[in-house]
A and B are shown apart, each in its own frame.
Chain A
Amino acid sequence: DAGVIQSPRHEVTEMGQEVTLRCKPISGHNSLFWYRQTMMRGLELLIYFNNNVPIDDSGMPEDRFSAKMPNASFSTLKIQPSEPRDSAVYFCASRGQGASNQPQHFGDGTRLSIL
């Protein structure tokens, strides 16, 4: 089974540039989560979708961050304009439908460096 697929794996760009991170969830999963991981703050939930609809975006740091899920098999997280403090590893995770308390499955992340 293919797991959660994220691209790119690494991104290095200059401050002020637009950054787009991509995620393909596990087929059949109906919930998708975007996390940010840093040494200082650990794993932070940015936003999550259920059936392609954003449910909770309270973790999105500011208006420079936006996320979309146009269909069940694709999501993007966009930062515009990017700043050095956005440097982190960004993870996407998906969760299956059905009974409650299903586990989340993570991708291998995008390591983002803003110079």
Chain B
Amino acid sequence: DAKTTQPNSMESNEEEPVHLPCNHSTISGTDYIHWYRQLPSQGPEYVIHGLTSNVNNRMASLAIAEDRKSSTLILHRATLRDAAVYYCILSSGGSNYKLTFGKGTLLTVNP
């Protein structure tokens, strides 16, 4: 399975935008990019996913590099509730339902 690399931790201030990076240099053409987040003592929560084009939803935006070797999750206005571990995950084209979670990025949001 293709691997992802994320910073261990990042810090942000409330009401400021947050850009969470993810490198996936060995991504193949049919791999989807998924982002999940896990709030303290809870199960993971879906954030967004994409294949080639940038994606927007009510929670966040996903910017995918043209060569697909990296992507960035954008939280437009961080709130205290966004403090969580964010996981960037690749899934194989034929098995998009099988996700492999890494350690993710711990996002701290300062008031």
Co-assembled chains A and B: no
